[in-house]
Amino acid sequence: MSTLTPKQARYGLAILTLVNLLNYTDRYILAGVMKKVQDHFTLSDAQGGLLATTFMIVYLVASPIGGFLGDRVPRRILIGCAVLLWSLATIASGLAASFLLLVFARAATGVGEAGYGTVAPSFISDLFRREQRSRMLAVFYTAMPLGAALGFILGGFVGDRFGWQAAFFVGGAPGILLGLFAFGLAEPKRGGMDEGPLEKVPFLEGLKALASNGRFWVVTSGLTLMTFSIGGLSNWMPKFLESERGFSGTDAGLALGATTVIGGFLGTLVGGVLGDRIEKRSPGGGIWMSGVGLALAAPMMILAVHAESKALLLITLLLAQFLIFLNQGPLNAAIVNVVSPGFRAFAFSISTMMLHLLGDAASPYLIGWVSDASKQRGGPGLATAIQINALPVLLGGVVLLIGARYFKPAPGTPPPASA
C-alpha cells in the first residue's frame, strides 16, 4: 500500500465520485415518489417523513461501526460491500408489498450507505496532498447535489410513467456494477500524503482526543445545523412543488433537479476552489466563507416559499442551494486536517453520526408533523414547515462565523496539521 501514482489517484477519485452520485440518487428517489408512495399506502405526512427518518437513524447507528472498520481493514473491500448492500436494498424498496417492508428496506439502505460515507473521505485524503484536499473533496461532494437531483428526476419521471416501484429498480441496478469496480481500486497508504510517520492511535485515546478537539466540534456543529434543514428540504420540496405550487410529479422532479444541479454543483466547486485559496492566505478562511454562505442562504429559503411566480421560486431556491453547498469542500477538508490520519475514518463516522442524529434523522418527520399540524389549523401545511426550516441554516452560519477564529494559529506558529 505505497503512495499511488497521480493516474491511480485520479481514477480512485473518479470511481468514488460516481459511487457517491449513486449514493445520493438512491437516497433521494424516495423524495421524488413520496406523494405516490403516500397515496399507495395511505400515509400521512408524518408517516411519509418516518421513512426518511428511519433511514437516517439506521445510518447514524451504523456509521461508527463503518468508521471503526475503515481505520483497520482495506477500505476498498468495505466500500465495495457497502455499495452492493445498499443497491440491493434500493431494489428491495421497489418490491415492498407493505409499508413495514418498505421501512425495513430503507433501513437496510442506511446500513450500506453508512459503510461508504464514513470511509470514502479518508480514502480520498490519502490520495492527495493537504493543499489539494478542499478541491478534491469538493469534486467528490459535487455528487451530492447531482445525485440528489438525479433522484428527484428519476423519481418524478419514472414514477409518473411506470410507477413508484420502477424508480427504485432503475436507481438500484447500477450500484451492483459500481460495487464490483470498487473492489478493484488501489488502496492508498494511510497517512501517506501527510508529513511524518503514520501515528497508530489507540481507540480510547483517539476518542479522548476527539472529545477535546474544539475545531472538530465547530465544524460538526455547523454541518449538523445545515444538514437538519437540507434533509427536510430535500425530502419535502418535491411534494411542496407538486401539492402547493401546481407542478406535476415530472415537472417537480425536473425543476428541483435543475436547481440542485446548477446551484449545488457550482456552489460545491466554487467553495472548494475558494476554500483552498482563502485557507492559504488566512487559516480558518474556508470556515468563515462557509458561515457567510449559510447565513445568506436562510433568507433565500424563505423567499422561495413566498414567491408567487414559479420562476422566482426556482431562482431563489437555486441561490439558496448555491450558498449552502459552498461549504462542502472546506468543511470536510477541515475535518480531515484537524485529526490524526490514523483516526480519520472514525472521526468522520462520529461527525456523520452527530450531523444525522441531530440533523436529517429528525427533520423529515418533524417537518411532516409541523405540516400536518398546520393543515389541522387551516394553515398552508408544508409552506409553514419549510419556512421554519430556514432557522437552523442561519444558526449554522452563525456557529461557523464565530468558530472560524479557533482555526487561526497563534502568532508566529504554523496551523496545526492534526488534533
The residues near 283 (Cβ < 8 Å, ≥ 6 apart) are 407, 408, 409, 415
Nearest to 232 by CA among 372, 31, 90: 31
Query: What pLDDT is attached to residue 103?
Result: 92
Check residue 325 and give its pLDDT: 87
d(CA 293, CA 324): 6
Number of folded domains in the chain? Answer: 1
- pLDDT (tens, 9 = 90+) of the chain, 419 residues, equals 446 788 888 899 999 999 999 988 988 898 889 889 999 999 888 888 888 778 878 887 888 888 778 778 888 999 999 999 999 999 999 999 999 999 999 999 988 888 887 788 888 888 887 777 778 887 888 888 788 888 888 888 898 899 999 999 999 999 999 999 999 898 888 766 665 555 666 677 777 878 888 889 999 999 899 888 887 777 788 788 887 787 877 788 788 778 888 888 888 888 888 877 887 788 778 899 999 999 999 999 899 888 888 889 889 989 998 999 888 878 888 887 787 776 777 787 788 778 777 877 778 778 888 888 888 887 667 787 888 888 899 999 999 999 888 887 654 444 444 43
Residue 194 lies in a domain: no
Q: DSSP letter string over 1-57?
A: -PPPPHHHHHHHHHHHHHHHHHHHHHHHHHHHTHHHHHHHHT--HHHHHHHHHHHHH
Helix 249-259, helix 214-244: angle, nearest 10 = 150
CA distance 339 to 333: 11
The grid cell for 146 is: 447531482
Residue corresponding to grid cell 482495506: 74
- What pLDDT, on a 0 to 100 scale, did the predictor assign at position 205? 75
* 1 belongs to a structural domain: no
CB 301 within 8 A of CB 285: no
Contact 339, 419 (CB under 8 A): yes
Q: What is the pTM of this model?
A: 0.68
Residue-wise burial string across 15-41, b where 16 or more C-beta atoms lie within 10 A, e elsewhere:
bbbbbbbbbbbbbbbbbbbbbbbbeee
In this prediction, residue 73 carries a pLDDT of 84
Task: Classify residue 196: in a domain, yes or no.
Answer: no
Task: Determine the pLDDT at residue 200.
Answer: 62
Looking up residue 55, the CATH number of its domain turns out to be: 1.20.1250.20
The answer to the question of residue 345 being in a domain is yes
* Alpha carbons 147 and 160: distance in angstroms, whole number: 19
Q: Which of 377, 224, 395 is nearest to 298 (CA)?
A: 395
Rounded-to-integer distance, Cα 340 and Cα 335, Å? 10
Task: Give the Cα separation of 27 and 108 in Å (integer).
Answer: 12
Q: Residue 400's closest CA among 271, 288, 280?
A: 288
Smallest CA-to-CA distance from 304 within 358, 251, 360, 259 is with 259
pLDDT of residue 100: 92
Look at residues 139, 106, 144, 105 and name the one whose alpha carbon lies nearest to residue 124.
139
- Going by C-alpha positions, the residue among 5, 27, 32 that lies closest to residue 239 is 32
Residue 48 lies in a domain: yes
Taking residue 396's Cβ as centre, other Cβ atoms within 10 Å add up to: 30
Residue 16's domain comprises 6-184+204-407
Rounded to whole angstroms, the Cα distance separating 259 from 264 reads 8
Give pLDDT, residue 415. 44
CA dist list (Å): 375 to 129, 204, 364, 370, 378: 52, 49, 17, 9, 5
- 412 in Cβ contact with 310 (< 8 Å): no
Residue 264 lies in a domain: yes
Q: Do 1 and 188 contact (CB within 8 A), yes or no?
A: yes
Any domain includes 414 = no
199 belongs to a structural domain: no
What pLDDT, on a 0 to 100 scale, did the predictor assign at position 177? 92
Burial state string for 140-174 with b = 16 or more CB within 10 A and e = fewer than 16:
bbbbbbbbbbbbbbbbbbbbbeeebbebbbbbbeb
- pLDDT at position 237 is 82
User: Smallest Cα–Cα separation from 253: which of 329, 324, 114, 156?
Assistant: 156
